[in-house]
Structure 1
Amino acid sequence: MTAPLVPAGARVGFVAHAGGRVRVLRGGGPGGVPVVLVHGGGPDNAAISWFEVFGELARSRPVLAPDLPGFGRTDGVPVDGSPAAMADLAVAVAGAGPAVWIGVSMGGDVVLNVALRHPGAVAGLVAVAPGGLAAYAGNRVLHPLAWLACRLPDAVLLPALRLAGRFTGAAVRAMVHDPASVPPAVREEMVRESRRAPTGYLRYNQATVGPWRMRNDLSGRVGRIRAPALFVHGRQDRLVDPRDSLRAAAAMPDARAVLLDGCGHWVQIEARDRFLAELGPFLRRIDDEHDRGART
């Protein structure tokens, strides 16, 4: 198996935090408003989620992508699992200054929390098939079963999740509409990630799945987010309902949602060019607004 995955244009570094260290991918240089990329859950890390788009984004601006606690090569940092705690950590690692926060799936949940908890850090927000907008895990009937599963001891759950993560082909088929769109290097990194104890995703599920409904449902709060926002969602997403993004965008004062046909959960992987085509005008708008503000 090849060396650990590093996207084009990325440099690997570490930031000391809470007695441990957070792996951070950095790229780009002076230019547009910085971008912070937040990866999803499951067998994922910053290099996996953003492999296809990191280099292109770094051509025009500084880019930073951390591995959240319990994922990738971040180690020694307490794994809380709550989206709020991950949002606070991401802001601390990103440093001062507003940025465009882009998160996918679980990372979408995190960046929505960044916007709510740290509005001064957010110049713009992009949520890709975000979690954090559903009332139930699956549906009202099945939800209590999901909660009971999350209550099982680590001695049961960690080996089970690690075993499930080994079936990379099945995971890819669940994530995307067209499995052939996932590069072999991303598949290899997913296998590597699945061999680690999946504490990050386990703690996220334990923190967010309540006995009767989701604890992280932000659908009633996203209307407070004033930053410009873009939701991008695959119309064929089997993991997160695209209607969640449509409803959230409609509830926010400066947001729009785009559904991409022929795409599943990972639009930034399987529809790279279309994703960047939607993202480009949004980033240019944020850059223009930042420049006008700097001149006043």
Structure 2
Amino acid sequence: MTITKESAARDLTLPSGRSVRYYDGGPADGLPVVLLHGSGPGATGWSNFSGNIGQIAAAGFHVIAPDMPGWGDSSAAITKEMDHDVDLVEILDALGIEKAALVGNSMGAHTAVRFATLHPERITHLVTMGASLGKSFPKSLFGPADGPSEGLKVLVKAYRDPSPENMKALVEIMTFDKARFATPELTKARSDAASARPDHLKNYVEGLVDGAPIPFTVDRSKIPSIDVPALVIHGRDDRVLHFETSLWLTTHIPNSRLVLLNRCGHWAMIEHADEFNRLVVDFLSNN
């Protein structure tokens, strides 16, 4: 199914007054599947999932990929007032969706996991890739002993200065196959998208002291209570968030399975789009 950015784009206003851009595809009566993007300058529902929305929608699912407040074409939000759990509840309510499968990358995975602990009655399936658990994750065994990973350092630098050079470095560290994905076209597009919203950049940088991009972290003790089927995906070569986070999630979510992809960085849904789409469609269809 071919879905263009222009044909899929929709807008809604939340009860909070914030406006949200989202991308919509697939039959309205299909199982709702919400794709939650990660953080990073220029990140949006479309930039993260343009290679996934059409294939998942073609399998009969109703796909929604929002730009969360603070990103893309949605309203600006300062970090200390940002709670994507509240935003997601309002998005589902505004769209008349009672229950949905949640598919999240990085920050979006954290949102999905936290949502599953707070609103178990509103989620049917949980899919994470390159999952972050923020400060609620136990002390790392394999990542940096103190401070952010090399990937997060590059990400923050690109927020401070979203030049094509810094965006190229960001795309390179997010992916395993740099030659294929860190193209001048992609890095310029991400740079232009980030620069178009200086309010998002400013809010993120100023919000670092408040825990940007995740000021409200999941209660780790509640994760074993998640009882929906969970698919945990991670790139073995992820230099932003080590795959030990996904090992931990698979250990603590009872009905879960882990797919660890070799030659894959932080963006499994982009680097291995066809395999990612097959995994998600099969998982949603048979669990």
TM exceeding 0.5: yes
Contact 1:25 1:46 in 2 (8 A): yes
- Whether the 8 Å contact between 1:103 and 1:128 is mirrored in structure 2 is yes
Q: Which residue pairs with 2:147 in the alignment?
A: 142
The CA distance in 2 between the partners of 1:45 and 1:141, in whole Å, is 29
Segment of structure 1 superposing worse, 269-278 or 169-178: 269-278
1:160-239 to structure 2, matched below 5 A, reads 161-164=159-162, 166=164, 167-182=166-181, 186-195=186-195, 196-197=197-198, 198-199=201-202, 201-202=204-205, 205-208=208-211, 216=217, 218-239=219-240
Q: 1:277, CA displacement in angstroms?
A: 2.4
Contact 2:160 2:205 in 1 (8 A): no
The number of equivalent residue pairs is 262
Distance 1:204 1:277 in 2: 37
Residue 239 to residue 78, structure 1, CA distance change in 2 (3 Å): closer
When residues 200 and 63 of structure 1 are mapped into structure 2, their CA distance, relative to the original with a 3 A threshold, is farther
Deviations 1:31-82 (A, max 9, x none): 541100110001211111101111111112111111111110012x543467
Deviation at 1:276, TM superposition (A): 1.7
**Structure 1 unaligned blocks of 5 or more:** 1-5, 144-148, 150-157, 287-296
Query: For 1:113, what is the secondary structure of its paired residue?
Result: helix
Kept in 1, the 8 Å contact 2:239–2:265? The answer is yes
Structure-1 residue corresponding to 2:9 = 12
3-state DSSP class of the match of 1:169?
helix
Give the distance between the partners of 1:226 and 1:277, measured in 2 at CA: 23
SS of residue matched to 1:126: strand
1:132–1:246 CA distance, 2 compared to 1 (3 A): same
Q: Identify the residue that residue 250 of structure 1 maps to in structure 2.
A: 251
Between 126-135 and 217-226, the greater mean CA deviation after superposition: 217-226
Give 5+ residue unaligned stretches, structure 2: none
Instruction: Go from structure 1 to structure 2 and tell me whether the alpha carbon gap of 1:108 and 1:186 turns closer, same or farther (over 3 Å shift).
Output: farther
Helix, strand or coil at the partner of 2:70: coil
Name the SS of the counterpart of 2:161 in structure 1: helix
* 2:84 alignment counterpart: 86
1:284 aligns with 2:285: yes
* Distance in 2 of aligned mates of 1:63 and 1:204: 31
1:246-274 per-position Cα deviation (integer Å, ceiling 9, x unaligned): 11111111111110111000010011112
- 2:245 alignment partner, SS class: helix
Does the alignment pair 1:61 with 2:66? no
Matched-pair contact (CA < 8 Å) for 2:68–2:74: yes
Q: Which moved more, 1:29-38 or 1:233-242?
A: 29-38
Q: 2:27 aligns with which of 23, 26, 29?
A: 29
Q: Is the 8 A contact 2:27 2:61 kept in 1?
A: yes
Distance change in 2, residues 1:270/1:81 (3 Å): farther
1:16–1:22: 8 Å Cα contact kept in structure 2? yes
Report the TM-score when normalising by structure 1: 0.78
Letter in structure 2 aligned against 1:90: L
SS at match of 1:221: helix
Residue by residue over 1:219-245, the C-alpha shift from the partner in whole angstroms, topping out at 9 and shown as x without a partner, is: 443112111111110011011010110
The answer to whether the aligner puts 1:46 opposite 2:50 as a matched pair is no
Cα distance change, pair 124–201 in 1 and its aligned pair in 2 (3 A)? farther
Paired residues of 1:7 and 1:52 also in contact (CA < 8 A): no
Which secondary structure state, in structure 1, belongs to the residue aligned with residue 127 of structure 2? strand
Partner of 1:293: none
